Amino acid sequence: MSGIVATIIAKYNYWIYICLMMIGLYAMITKRNLIKKIVGMNIFQTAIILFYVSIGAKRGGTIPIIEHAHGGQSHAVEAVHYINPLPHVLMLTAIVVAVATLGVALALAIRIYNRYRTLEEDEILSRIRGS
């Protein structure tokens, strides 16, 4: 029993990541306002970024910058002391893609509002069926 509790406590970042992901999915599925759906989509994306950055983190590790890189003395680099920078680089791309999708989604929401004068999904559907 204490082994399970210790595992849950040691991996708390991943549990919070799952909670954030489900919050985003809930907002995308059940909210009827289009802006709320877009906020849910962004929460989903940042939850995935949190997961990847948590993979690369290490206890007691420092940021992945080598000191005296161009100095005279040469020394061996031990990768154990540095946080893994590969997930960070991948997630930089994901942040840029997230803001691009956000811009496109908000532009579409503004166009929908200009045409139907509402942002609620059910009202938009009733106006599409009505006219």
Partner 1 sequence: MIWELDMAILTLVLFCAVGAITVKDLLGAAILFGAYSFMMCLLWAIMGAVDVAFTEASVGAGVSTVFFVAAVFRTTRRTKD
Nearest distance in Å: CB 68, partner 1 = 19
What burial class does residue 7 get, using C-beta atoms within 10 Å of its C-beta: 0-12 exposed, 13-18 middle, 19+ buried?
exposed
Comparison of 62 and 70: residue with beta carbon closer to partner 1 = 62
Which amino acid is located at 12 in the chain? Y
Near partner 1 in 78-117, by CB under 8 A:
83, 87-89, 91-92, 95-96, 98-99, 102-103, 106, 109-110, 113
DSSP-derived secondary structure letter, 82: B
Site track 29-68 with partner 1 (rule: CB under 8 A), x = hit: -xxxx-xx--xx-xx--x--xx--xx-xxxx-xxxx----
Q: Which structure tokens are listed for 15?
A: 């549990």
Does position 120 interact with partner 1 (CB under 8 A)? The reply is yes
Comparison of 72 and 81: residue with beta carbon closer to partner 1 = 81
Sign of CA dihedral 76, 81, 85, 87: positive
